Amino acid sequence: MQSVAVIDYGASNLRSVVKALEYVSQGRHKILLTDSPELIHSADKIVFPGQGAIKQCMDSLVHKGLDLVIKESIFKKPYLGLCLGLQALFDSSEEDGGTLGLGIIPGNVLRFPEASKDEYGEAYKIPHMGWNLVNHDKTHPMWDGISEAERFYFVHSYYVNPDNKEDVCGSTDYILPFTSVVARENLFAVQFHPEKSQKSGLQLLLNFLNWQ
């Protein structure tokens, strides 16, 4: 039985991610919510979920020594990043006056521009919250069973801006076109919340469990 380590750094949505993974696994995988470097090292797959502020996330990772574990393990086994688990991969974020990330994906994290208006003259709300379309920028096993322009659930005020276009696997439009999915080798990370995205989100989580 393969083990899946869900990184526990104190985020509020961890339990819902674990329950969603357990649901799609149907007992075929051992889902571990853990902050143990040893268990993360030994797991077959890694899920890094999260919501909230990036500085608190990074401070907790460093305090627990999980930043080093992620850097050592991330290209050795399948990795799925969700929301902050995507943003933390980048070099830095504008949030909290500037926060250093893990530096795994070249690029930075930017805040949506304020005072932007839609085609009807209505102001866009920040954070970007609710259902939105995700376009497939390239083919990937993680898209199996998921239609082009499928809807997923978002909650965020910042978006990732990769330096290299080849890292972009999905994109979304809110205020401006932004990268909502990155992929590289055995790494796949999304800005949206699969655990809140009903059928399409569960399919993505199942694809990750099946991804070899």
Q: Residue ranges per domain, the chain? A: 2-94+109-210
DSSP class per residue in 20-79: HHHHHHTTSEEEEEE--HHHHHH-SEEEE---S-HHHHHHHHHHHTHHHHHHHHTTTS-E
Q: Is 170 exposed, middle or buried (0-12, 13-18, 19+ CB in 10 A)?
A: buried
Residue 135 and residue 151: Cα distance in Å, rounded? 9
Residue 113 and residue 94: Cα distance in Å, rounded? 12
Q: Which residues of 37-62 are buried (b: 16+ CB within 10 A; e: fewer)?
A: beebeebebbbbbbbebbebbbbbbe
Q: How many CA atoms lie within 13 A of 193 on its CB side?
A: 21
Q: One of 57, 95, 150, 195 is an active-site residue; which one?
A: 195
Q: What is the pLDDT of residues 109-163, one digit of tens each?
A: 999 998 777 778 788 899 999 999 999 999 999 999 999 999 999 999 999 999 9
Residue 70 and residue 20: Cα distance in Å, rounded? 22
User: Per-residue pLDDT for the chain (212 aa), expressed as one digit of tens each?
Assistant: 999 999 998 876 789 999 999 999 999 999 999 999 999 999 999 999 988 899 999 999 999 999 999 999 998 999 999 999 999 999 999 998 999 999 999 999 999 998 777 778 788 899 999 999 999 999 999 999 999 999 999 999 999 999 999 999 999 999 999 999 999 999 999 999 999 999 999 999 999 999 98
Assess whether 193 carries a catalytic annotation.
yes
154 CB neighbour count, 10 Å cutoff: 23
Tokens of 89: 């991969």
pTM for the whole structure: 0.95
Q: How many CA atoms lie within 13 A of 20 on its CB side?
A: 25
Residue 18 and residue 106: Cα distance in Å, rounded? 29
Residue 141 and residue 27: Cα distance in Å, rounded? 22
Give the distance, in angstroms, between the CA of residue 7 and the centroid of all CA atoms in the same chain. Answer: 12
Q: One of 83, 95, 128, 169 is an active-site residue; which one?
A: 83
- Does the 2-94+109-210 domain belong in CATH 3.20.20.100? no
- Tally of residues, the chain: 212
Q: One of 29, 128, 156, 193 is an active-site residue; which one?
A: 193
Assess whether 195 carries a catalytic annotation.
yes
